[in-house]
Amino acid sequence: MSPAPAQHVTAPVQDPFNGPSAAPRYATPIIAHLDMDCFFAQIEQKRRAELAGLPVVVGADPHHGHGRGVVCTANYEARRFGIKSAMPISKAYALCPAAMFLPVDYRHYSAVSRHIFSIAGAFCKTERTGIDEGYLDLGACRDFEEGQSVAFDIKKAILEKTGLTCSIGIAWNKRIAKIASEMQKPDGLTVIRSHELEAKIWPLAADKMPGIGPHTKSRLERIGIKSIGQIAQSKPRFLAESLGAWGLGLYAAAWGSGSAELGGFWQPKSISRETTFGQDTDDWVALRVTLDELSRRVHADAVSENAFFRTVGVKVRFANFETHTHARTIKTTQALDRIKATVKALMQPALESSRKIRLVGVRLSGLTDATGQTRLEQFYSNP
């Protein structure tokens, strides 16, 4: 982790929504990306001192190697065994059966996330983009050195008030800042200036660029491109012919183009819960009990977030992995009985099909706050 500059005095705070009061804006944008380190697992280690130094995996129950869900988060001790997010939980168990496997406590993690961004909000304007990450506007800083100092102060405040570490990347736009935040994990602080683009960003693998997933990575490899630098050195017309308009976007991104505007609040688009059964089942009673429990859990999440909803959806995966989703729009509500009734109606054809089911899920979307406005996260409420 980069050391803090010798001295820094934080500007006075006007309010947590607008950051330091009367702060001047400078010509060069300075944007930071804050990323919590293996967030769920780190929280669990903080809650339970006996987990210190042990491999921790948060996700589905492994059922002694026969579980059928996935890993949500693994700490660095677990990652040494090759365990990764989204890995089948059975494979994670096979790699490290001695790991501590813990269930997801989303409601607690969400409360901790809000607290973390309220801490950061005392220093600058923030944009939370997920439960464990977001952007910081450091444009009131005179230069990158001062921005680094403020970022160090934010990291220190988060650690002191929550006991959790984060990694921060600083650059001139959000995309490069996000790449930078991954470079020195965990507990890292990385600064990338525009003149360092070729030396520090171009050598990276193409999929380090936000927005390049496995599918785009494969398409790039088929045309001989494996690094960000190779994207930058390709002819725009070639990329457009190979990838369409997205190719031109990648070309601009590889040359350092990107937004420096923060969007304000994180707006979750949906709340969902799902369960993978230990064995495929066509037991109507067990399925209905499970669906009722999932309905209660998404309802509790909605109440916790003060979110109303207007669409209820279900997900069903049959034994052959055939997956279906169905949804119904209803009158905006926060009532549990409306969730249960809608879920029952949507799932009835699957329950009557006599086919064995592997997974079921319940989802709420079309979220609004109590006034009917599009749902905005309450960053600055106490967790």
Q: What is the pLDDT along the chain (383 residues), one digit of tens a residue?
A: 443 333 333 333 333 333 444 456 566 899 999 999 999 999 999 999 999 999 999 998 898 888 888 899 999 999 999 999 989 999 999 999 999 999 999 889 989 999 999 999 999 999 998 889 999 999 999 999 999 999 999 999 999 999 999 999 999 999 999 999 999 999 999 999 999 999 999 999 999 999 898 889 999 999 999 999 999 999 999 999 999 888 999 999 999 999 988 875 555 678 888 888 888 898 888 899 899 999 998 998 888 777 899 999 999 999 998 999 999 999 999 999 999 999 999 999 988 888 999 999 999 999 887 545 443 333 222 22
Q: 270 by DSSP, 3-state: which?
A: strand
Domains of the chain: 8-201 (3.30.70.270), 204-254 (1.10.150.20), 270-365 (3.30.1490.100)
CA–CA distance, 11 with 22 (Å, rounded to integer)? 9
Q: pTM of this prediction?
A: 0.73
Output DSSP code: residue 3: P
Per annotation, catalytic residue among 44, 77, 127, 133:
133
Residue whose token pair is 């406590």: 105
Please indicate whether residue 261 is annotated as part of the active site.
no
Contact (Cβ atoms closer than 8 angstroms) between residue 339 and residue 312: yes
What tokens appear for 117 in the block? 């961004």
Residue matched to tokens 């190719």: 247
**DSSP secondary structure string for all residues of 270-333:** EEEEEEEEEEEE--HHHHHHHHHHHHHHHHHHHHHTT-BEEEEEEEEEETT--EEEEEEEEEEE
Distances (CA, A) of 10 to 119, 138, 171: 13, 12, 20
CB 77 within 8 A of CB 55: yes
Specify the DSSP class assigned to residue 282.
-
